[in-house]
Amino acid sequence: MADKRQTKARLVKGFRDILPQPACQREKAMRTLQDVFQLFGYQSIDTPTLEYTDVLLSKSAGETEKQIFRFEDAGGRDVAMRFDLTVPFARFLAMHRHEVGLPFRRYHIGKAWRGENPQKGRYREFYQCDFDIVGSHNIQADLDVLLVAQAALRSLGVQKFKIHINHRRLLKDLLSHWNLEAQYLPVLGILDKIHKVGKEKTQSELATILPNHADLLWRFVQPQGNSEQALQHLQTLFEEQRVDTPALGDLKQIFEQLNALGLGGFYLLDPCITRGLDYYTGIVFETFLEDMSEIGSVCSGGRYDNLVGLYSNEEISGIGGSVGLDRLLAALEEIQGALPQISAADVVLIYAQDMQSQRRLQLALQARGIKVACFPDDKKLDQQFRYAQSLGARVGVFYKEKEGFILRDLASRENIPAADVGAAILHIRKMIHG
């Protein structure tokens, strides 16, 4: 019978707990990302969870407004929980641009919140792992972000992926040349859904809004094998149409440099990539896993012309990307069956009335980076062994006054004596590292 004063333990719709094993996986992945970002000179920043609603929504269309968690704080302020890390970064730059100096590379790993209808694998609270370089128009900045994206995925253990690259100016300059600038956003919208709705529907939608140019545009977005072929194809098409665009030269340079670094195989020139209706103005990219492209992009981004324009007259452009870590980890788990288990402890101290010697060994092992948990209760040995194994431990440690340490190999059930701390360390290292 439940106590009347008890409250039912439950979660708010769209939110979830992260249990130890996935939490450790995620933490490990985040540290890997931090390491990669830092190797390229990107620096961590943090911004508040709550912002003024007008600050968050200054650039938004109505869709975002419907999804944000918005309320009045105790001081009567209209505040909301951030729905991404980009808008807060723009606000941050408008306020701290002179403190951080330009060019500025930042990464930000943090939570964001959106009141979307929860779906499988999608929650109202999620992590974003963003990296940006602002204050440079140069192609080297674009290359930098593309290199980080590739290094990040490989460091996370992903090998079979392709970063699909496009340049928004290609489409824009093509439409301008045809005096069809007004169709730029509608066409972006149609192309963005090509993988969802299929080729036929896309083709007929294009024909509706661009009756005289649909075929040409269709040629424009046709896949062409590898990046060199795609580039050649685009050059031919643009020459035919007598359209001159700097975007082609930019793409050419980027692929040349990626190839020279021996990394070309991780990238693909793909004119279908649009990044929806977002604020991008130059290079855009999305990343697909070869074994699971259906889950969508696991790392996306692009160049934007004026990030802080909503808050300041200063123009700061940049390019950035974002790793979809939750989605990526879920995909890796599905591809590999399971992510490699992270042990909670390598060694477990088996309970004894007097644990002094075991505790001394614990500290000595920890100083060598070995994880040691102590079983804190006087329970049956079987129970303690099962517990140790559930933590992923390899060794159980006893101590007996006259014999010294006894090291229990939890897999083989063999007991190995070790006279003192030094001998125990040697044996345990062998037992753990094989």
Decide if residue 421 touches its own copies (CB under 8 A): no
Span 109-148, contacts to its own copies by CB under 8 A: 111, 113, 115, 125, 133, 136-138, 140-141, 143-144, 147
- C-beta closer to its own copies: residue 75 or 434: 75
- C-beta closer to its own copies: residue 119 or 179: 119
Given 369, 380, 401, 434, the residue binding its own copies (CB under 8 A): 369
Decide if residue 360 touches its own copies (CB under 8 A): yes
Torsion of CA 74, 78, 80, 82, to 10 degrees: -120
Q: Do 127 and 114 form a contact (C-beta atoms < 8 A)?
A: no
Decide if residue 351 touches its own copies (CB under 8 A): yes
Span 227-286, contacts to its own copies by CB under 8 A: 257, 260-261
- C-beta closer to its own copies: residue 232 or 383: 383
Stretch that binds its own copies, among 1-9, 220-228, 237-245, 290-298 (CB under 8 A): 1-9
Given 33, 79, 129, 395, the residue binding its own copies (CB under 8 A): 79
The angle that helices 139-155 and 246-260 make with each other, rounded to 10 degrees, is: 40
Shortest distance, position 381 Cβ to its own copies, whole Å: 16
Token pair, residue 371, equals: 């994880």
Span 36-75, contacts to its own copies by CB under 8 A: 38-52, 54-55, 58, 66, 69, 71-75
Given 33, 83, 85, 91, the residue binding its own copies (CB under 8 A): 91
Shortest distance, position 249 Cβ to its own copies, whole Å: 13
Decide if residue 3 touches its own copies (CB under 8 A): yes
Shortest distance, position 222 Cβ to its own copies, whole Å: 31
Shortest distance, position 48 Cβ to its own copies, whole Å: 4
Given 4, 17, 402, 413, the residue binding its own copies (CB under 8 A): 17
Cα 125 from Cα 15, distance rounded (Å): 6
Three-state DSSP state, 345:
coil
Bridge-based pairing of strands 299-304 and 415-418 is: unpaired
Decide if residue 207 touches its own copies (CB under 8 A): no
Q: DSSP string covering 134-165, please?
A: ES--SHHHHHHHHHHHHHHHHHTT--SEEEEE
Q: Cis omega before residue 118 (within 30°)?
A: no
Residue 16's H or E segment, with its range, is none
For residue 101, how many other CB atoms are within 10 A of its CB? 9
Shortest distance, position 67 Cβ to its own copies, whole Å: 8
Cα 142 from Cα 301, distance rounded (Å): 10
Shortest distance, position 299 Cβ to its own copies, whole Å: 18
Given 119, 179, 212, 313, the residue binding its own copies (CB under 8 A): 313
Nearest Cα to 274, choosing from 205, 197, 192, 201?
192
Decide if residue 315 touches its own copies (CB under 8 A): no
Cα 297 from Cα 300, distance rounded (Å): 6
Residues 6+ apart with CB under 8 A from 185: 277
Decide if residue 381 touches its own copies (CB under 8 A): no
Cα separations in angstroms, 336 against 177, 291, 344: 48, 10, 21
